[in-house]
Amino acid sequence: MHEPINYKSINLDQLRDQSGNYHSKTPFQHQIEAFEALSKTFKFGSDKPGSGILVLPTGAGKTFTATRWLSDHIIPKNIKILWLAPSFYLLDQALATFQNSARDIPEPKKTLNIRCVSSNPSHAKASSIQLTDDIVIMTIQTAINNLHTNALDNSGKNFETAFRKFIDSCRETGLFVVVDEAHHSPAYGCRNLLIGEKDSALGLRGLFPQLNLLGLTATPTYNDKARRGWLWKIFENEIIYEAKKESLISQGVLARPNYIEVATGKELEVDDKLYDRLVKQHQDLPESIIEKLASDKQRNNFIVHTYVSNKDTYGKTIIFADRWFQCVYIKDKLLEKGIKVDAIYSHIDADPGSADARNKRTQSDNQRILDEFKNGKLDVLINVRMLTEGADVPSVQTVFITRQTTSSILMTQMIGRALRGEKVGGSAEANVVLFFDDWKRLVDWANPKDGDTIDKPKLCVKGYHPFEYISIRLVEELSKSIESGGDYQIVFSKICPIGWYKTEIVYADVDNKHESMESFTEFVMVYEHTKSKFDSFILFISSTNLLDEWSKEYLDDKWMQPQVQQWISERFEPKTDNIGEKLDSDLIKIVRHIAQNQSAPIYHPFEERELYDLDKIAYKVIDFPPRLKHEYLDKEFSEPDTLWKVFYRSLIRFETAVDAAIINIIYQPIPQSPLPLINPLKTEDRELSEVEKVKVKERDGYACLCCGVNTKSKLQIDHITPFSMGGKTSLENSQTLCVMCNRCKGNNEIDFRCNATKLSIPKNLDLRFRIESQNTISQALPRFDSPVGYLTFRTESQNAIRNLTRIVNLFYHCKAVYKVNRAVRPYGYNIYLYPGNYPEWLLNHKMELLKYIQDKLDPNAYNIEVHTQDKS
């Protein structure tokens, strides 16, 4: 875990006085050339501001180059700096590099205030930003959420966020914006943040016509013309300077990466909830799974054995672990083998005298151990992601990445620790050892080899993941056949795709712990009977004016599903086309790719498909005796340049699949136990404890304070002042709402414990809220001669009252409704308001509200009356 890193106020005069023997870091030739190019592009006082990209490969010092130039040319002019990154992982590295460059800031600058902002608990909240900050380092998603907001405060006025106040204050000082991982900039949210042109939501360039904008990336261009076009609209000077990776390797500045994949042999199930998190939400492994892997002794012993048996090859090694106790365990086991090793980590407070407390590390302990590693006293250093923040240990020959991650940014940071070349005390070749487990469903793990084209070009345009997908589909079908006793027939033409579409989509993960924005390449499998349907669908979508929302990086699955289900019902056959139950997610991938890239995804045919028809193998060996069959299949499985190993991973799986095909041919089942499953695992969020939640619900009478529903299963705990607007997670700032009311309240500050509006002027009446029931009262008209009909009518009426109560309370921005009841003559509704809420505000919308009630809630209603509270 990290110590909180969020704000630094540096006394530059004091730092200068303490730097007697300090020698500024000497930049490399490519960095000196970059400095010159930056100075030519960004000329202050000229009519046109600069806007371009600096391209340096991983390990070549993008962050150092930018911060050193900013320290020399921007900070001394008292120009404010906004540093944006697509993931919270990158913020700490930028902060540390600015701190290290602070001594080089020339006089007369006296102090430097740096604030690190994201939704991650280790960083400052956006609401803490001050006008005195010189540098604000924040995630792109946090900036998007805080530049413009439609949220209202308790008085009904728009929130003016602390970030927006900071931006507006920069009109007096000037503003220089840096975008790390700038190849993400064409994504919808980032693009609008930087250059949005809507009057109601201008981007930074619209707010600051003289804005200077610098992008940093190792990946400067897109194959897709539309995305590349957006990149140059944002960065109008295009590439300011580029250092080629191959050139820096030949100069000895960078090491050539040697990727070594090591299978742990650990088989892990992926239940639906975990699969949804990893594949649909594009989040990383939940803490509970990471904890499980970190505490697995057998797996940790395997990591130890991997190093010990190759220590002469691996040499000086950094091992990236996940938990402090994993560091301790691996360290102890390596010490037993005579390896000079230590570990650096932080740890939460523990009970005095406990093992946890004894193992707690201070910052000075960690620095001492890091210095020992740098000075050659240690061969192995184990850490919990602390060295991803830019620690410079050039003599490292190898890094161990002990588990898979979906974050390409985190993967790149870890690998970067090993890429220092011979010129800086490193090596000509760096070993990157990637440990991987055998997950039972396809997960698009970050693969560093995907972005590396120097060692060797990709062997095949079809890529790796489609074959992995085929492998898992084959195993799934095999399992179904075994479990059914052979009744479930495996049909090769139905389960093996004829090709796939390759989609590229930028996703935003906006949970409170892992805020990030990353690009993912995903594949949509196409089968014999679905190819023409997909072609027709893509042609249809490409010629349709899609809603702008489909371009966004974050979309709620509930928002997408109704449209997707309509497309499926109109263009596909749900029973036969929904192979692997992925049709809805496949269509979403295609539509989002088209919306974001303005082009159709590329189709790749599986040209070797017929070579892997298992039925053909089965017919060849059906009459072989067991030993001869085993020898034949072993030879076939081990044949070089075939994909059997990719598809089935082990000989025994391959043989089992062939046996199943034979049994299907002769209609005799093979009994076998079903595959084991693990229980769904939950993630943790920042929220009240369960005990505190009960207290809030007890205080609020186990009822929604907005609509009054008292069904316990629907109740949620809501922040009155939203967390994103600086609200605290406390009993005082919490209230009980149902799911629907919580969703309708959104990101506004509304206290439903208050009975009198604090609005100074009335709001517009918002009638976009969903109603709770899918069946309106028109489907259950009153029948007073029937008890059942009367009961149905009564239930529908209560539902209408709840929805009406919700609409009025949200209109007044408080719990304004004392009660709502039905009127018999004329038939309609009486709305009674608490004192302090003006009936005329609502009566101004009487006809509009009545029409909504008739259309959505109760077609027989003919009147609405609004009164102040009935004193009786």
Can you give 71-111 as a three-state secondary structure string? HHHCHHHCCEEEEEECECHHHHHHHHHHHHHHHHCCCCCCE
Q: Which amino acid is at 221?
A: T
* pLDDT band (50, 70, 90) for residue 77: very high
Same domain, 734 and 611: no
DSSP string, 202-237: E-HHHH-TT-EEEEEES----SSHHHHHHHHHHSTT
Is 494's pLDDT higher than 80?
no
Q: Is residue 19 part of a domain?
A: no
For 133, the 3-state DSSP assignment is coil
List of E strands, 609-659: none
Q: Is the pLDDT of residue 298 over 90?
A: yes
- Averaged pLDDT, 760-766: 86
CB atoms within 10 A of CB 694: 13
**Distance (Å) of CA 666 to CA 564, 626, 657:** 41, 16, 15
Angle between helices 557-571 and 583-597 (to 10 degrees): 110
**pLDDT greater than 50 at residue 90:** yes
Total structural domains in the chain? 5
Which pLDDT score, from 0 to 100, does residue 353 have? 44
List CB contacts of 336: < 8 A, sequence separation 6 or more.
none
Q: What is the pLDDT of residue 412?
A: 75
**407-455: pLDDT as tens digits:** 776 777 777 777 878 777 778 888 999 898 877 666 667 667 654 433 3
Question: How do strand 80-85 and strand 51-55 relate by DSSP bridges?
Answer: unpaired
pLDDT per position as a tens digit, 448-469: 765 443 333 232 333 345 666 6
| Confidence (pLDDT) at 469 | 64
Examine the domain organization and report whether 100 and 226 are in the same domain: yes
**Which of 644 and 529 is assigned the larger pLDDT?**
529
Q: Which residues of 231-257 are buried (b: 16+ CB within 10 A; e: fewer)?
A: bbebbebebbbbbebeebbeeebbbbb
Of the ranges 88-92, 347-351, 468-472, which one carries the lowest mean pLDDT score?
A: 347-351
| Average pLDDT of the residues in 50-68 | 91
Same domain (yes/no): 274, 385:
yes
745 touches 718 (CB < 8 A): yes
In terms of domains, do 336 and 413 share one? yes
The predicted model gives 112-134 an average pLDDT of: 91
How much of the chain, in percent, has pLDDT values that exceed 90?
30
Give the other-Cβ count within 10 Å of 264's Cβ.
20
Pick the last residue of a domain from 411, 440, 469: 440
Cα–Cα distances in Å, from 843 out to 166, 662, 750, 869? 41, 76, 22, 16
Q: What's at 709, amino acid-wise?
A: V
Between 223 and 470, the higher pLDDT residue = 470
Residue 1 in any domain: the answer is: no
Pairwise pLDDT comparison (633 vs 159), residue with the higher score:
633
Burial of residue 356 (number of CB atoms within 10 Å: 0-12, 13-18, 19+):
middle
- CATH number at 203 reads 3.40.50.300
Which 8-state DSSP code applies to residue 112?
Answer: E
Confidence of residue 773 (pLDDT cuts 50, 70, 90): very low
Q: If you search the block for the tokens 């059997």, which residue do you land on? A: 644
Phi, psi dihedrals of residue 250, rounded to the nearest 5° = -65, -30
Neighbours of 305 (CB within 10 A): 12
Has residue 594 got a pLDDT over 60? yes
* Coil/strand/helix, residue 729: coil
Q: Are residues 71 and 188 in the same domain?
A: yes
453 belongs to a structural domain: no
| Beta pairing partners, 716 | 737
Q: Which tokens belong to 274? A: 């975990």
Same domain, 388 and 529: no
**Res 381: pLDDT:** 92
pLDDT digits (tens, 9 = 90+) for 94-109: 898 898 888 889 888 8
Contact partners, residue 162, CB within 8 Å, separation at least 6: 126, 127, 128, 129, 130, 146, 726
Contacts of 458 (CB under 8 A, 6+ apart): none
Instruction: For residue 858, give the nearest of 785, 764, 788, 794 by alpha carbon.
Output: 794
Choosing from 753, 769, 800, the residue where a domain stops is 753
User: Domain for residue 24, yes or no?
Assistant: no
The residue-averaged pLDDT of 73-92 equals 89
Q: Residue 250: inside a domain, yes or no? A: no
Question: Are the C-beta atoms of 343 and 304 separated by less than 8 Å?
Answer: no
Q: What is the 3-state secondary structure (H, E, C) of 790-837?
A: HHHHHHHHHHHHHHHHHHHHHHHCECCEEEEEEECCCCEEEEEECCCC
457: preceding bond cis by omega (within 30 degrees): no
Are residues 660 and 779 part of one domain? no
Residue 702 main-chain phi, psi, to 5 deg: 50, 45
Both tokens of residue 651? 């000989």
Which of the two residues, 796 and 822, has the higher pLDDT score?
822
Q: What is the mean pLDDT of residues 587-602?
A: 89
Contact predicate 864/831, CB 8 Å: yes
What's the chain's Rg over C-alpha atoms? 31
Question: CA separation (Å) from 687 to 285, 286, 706, 714?
Answer: 20, 17, 21, 17
- Residues 798-818, mean pLDDT to the nearest whole number: 91
- Are residues 232 and 95 located together in one domain of the fold? yes
Distance of alpha carbon 179 from alpha carbon 849, whole angstroms: 47
Confidence at residue 31, expressed as pLDDT on a 0 to 100 scale: 93
Residue 665 lies in a domain: yes
Contact yes or no for 753/815 (Cβ under 8 A): yes
Residues 287 and 325 in one domain: yes
End position of a domain, from candidates 715, 735, 753: 753
Domain that includes residue 486, residue range = 458-681
Question: In the prediction, which pLDDT does 781 show?
Answer: 34
Per-residue pLDDT at 104 = 85
SS3 753: coil
The half-sphere exposure of 849 on its side-chain side, counting CA atoms within 13 A, is: 25
Q: How far is CA 36 from CA 19, 31, 40, 177, 243, in A?
A: 27, 9, 6, 19, 13
Candidates 175, 166, 95, 86; CA nearest to 132 is 166
Name the least confident of 403-407, 457-461, 521-525, 796-800.
457-461
Gap between the Cα atoms of 813 and 279, Å rounded? 38
In a domain, 17, yes or no: no
263: pLDDT strictly greater than 50? yes
Exposure string of 507-527, with b = 16+ CB inside 10 Å and e = fewer, is bbbbbebbbbbbbbebbbbbb
**Does the structure show a pLDDT above 70 at 806?**
yes
CATH code of the domain in which 711 resides: 1.10.30.50
Q: Which two tokens stand for residue 846?
A: 């009487």
Q: Are residues 357 and 416 in the same domain?
A: yes
Q: Mean of the per-residue pLDDT values for the chain?
A: 80
Q: Do 532 and 657 share a domain, yes or no?
A: yes
Q: For residues 664 and 527, state if they share a domain.
A: yes
Structure confidence by residue, pLDDT tens digits, 637-654: 888 777 777 677 678 878
- For tokens 């190792």, name the residue: 218
Indicate if the pLDDT at residue 514 is higher than 70: no
Q: Which residue has the tokens 């630094």?
A: 8
The answer to the question of residue 706 being in a domain is yes
User: Is pLDDT of 681 > 70?
Assistant: no
Q: Reply yes or no: is the peptide bond before residue 220 cis, omega within 30 of 0.
A: no
Half-sphere exposure of 425 (CA within 13 A, CB side): 10
For the purposes of burial, counting CB atoms within 10 Å of the CB of 401, is it exposed (0-12), middle (13-18) or buried (19 or more)?
A: buried
